Amino acid sequence: MQIYWKPALGLAVLGSTLFLIGGPGAAWAQKSPPDVYLDRCAVCHGPDGAGKTARGRKVKVKDVRETVGKMSAAEMIKIVEAGKGPNMDGYAKEFSKDQITALVDYYRSLAKP
């Protein structure tokens, strides 16, 4: 039996595969906001949000306690989506709006005593 590969079928299979393993939120699929923060953000912002890591000091990351007093959650969400200068990538293509909001909420919670 000979199998013929039809381009439309190939595109459907590829699209389904990418949807299942890629797309917004795929990296988050099994992770909580604290896990994502530790994986993606803590290298600069520190596990406690203080920014006292080697990379955080180099790029002058401010302590979350200071940032929360100056920026709203909505402003922070925009930064996470779009990135900030050459030192912070945007994550709008990797995470959904709800996931970014949860991540920012977690980050802001680090400022609470």
Domain ranges of the chain: 31-109
pTM of the predicted model, to two decimals? Answer: 0.74
CATH for 31-109, options being 3.30.70.3270, 3.10.450.50, 1.10.150.250, 1.10.760.10: 1.10.760.10
pLDDT truncated to tens, each residue of the chain (113 aa)? 555 444 443 434 434 333 444 555 555 567 899 999 999 999 999 999 999 999 999 999 999 999 999 999 999 999 999 999 999 999 999 999 999 999 999 999 999 98
Query: Which pair of tokens denotes residue 58?
Result: 């180099």
Q: How far apart are CA 1 and CA 11, in angstroms?
A: 23
pLDDT of residue 7: 46
Q: Phi and psi at residue 88, in whole multiples of 5°?
A: -135, 120
